[in-house]
Chain A
């Protein structure tokens, strides 16, 4: 079945620097790749997503890139701020109703 691997499990960066989180997926039929942010005590919240017919998508300080050939996609956060500290999850799916989740990355922004 589909499997999604996410790295690193913990990422610590200096405020203002960039952060990159990477995911790989196994099922070549996957065509939808969302990223969710989970703050302490809350449920995950969608921050950006990409479909397989697009290689890159940006939204202000956040961008996602997709390499279909290599079956990996990445989340890029530039100019990190304290409020970016959270756990980030990638996911992959061939159906928007059945997501396969990565294990999560705890992002720590150091002041």
Chain B
């Protein structure tokens, strides 16, 4: 089991550019979450999916952010256009739906810097 795979690990882009973050969850995990982590705001849930369907996107900060999950093994988080305040570490996490006690499994994150 390779765990949750996120790419890229680091992304540096200029303000106004489109950024796409990618996530491959653990096979068989029905829930997928996108989190953002900053020093000022800590861990923030942006959106989560169940069986590829978005369930709660109330944490998505603005219309510039969008997320998709076209199939059970792939999800993307897109920022268009990017702004310096979007600089953060973005985590993808997943869990099984079978048991309430099943943990969240996080990827190692994508560190985004917008200049």
Instruction: State the majority secondary structure of interface residues on A.
Output: strand
Q: How far is the CB of B49 from chain A (nearest CB, A)?
A: 11
Question: How distant is B106 from chain A, measured CB to nearest CB, in Å?
Answer: 3
> Is A98 in the interface zone, CB < 8 Å from B?
yes
In the complex, are the beta carbons of A43 and B108 less than 8 A apart?
yes
Q: How many B residues are at the interface, by size bracket? A: 20 to 34
A43–B42 contact, CB under 8 A? Answer: no
| Cβ–Cβ contact B101 & A96, under 8 A | yes
Q: Is A111 an interface residue (CB 8 A)?
A: no
Among A49, A51, A96, A102, the most chain B Cβ lie within 10 Å of the Cβ of A96
Q: Which of B4, B42, B48 contacts A103 (CB 8 A)?
A: B42
Chain A residues positioned under 8 Å from B43 (CB to CB): 44, 89, 101
The interface size bin for chain A is 20 to 34
Which residues of B are interface residues toward A (Cβ below 8 A)?
4, 31, 42-43, 45, 48, 50, 55-56, 91, 93, 95, 100-104, 106-109
- Provide a sorted-by-A list of 25 A–B residue pairs whose CB atoms are within 8 angstroms: A32-B100, A34-B103, A34-B104, A36-B104, A42-B106, A42-B108, A42-B109, A43-B93, A43-B107, A43-B108, A44-B43, A44-B104, A46-B104, A51-B101, A89-B43, A96-B95, A96-B100, A96-B102, A97-B31, A97-B50, A97-B95, A99-B45, A99-B104, A101-B43, A104-B42
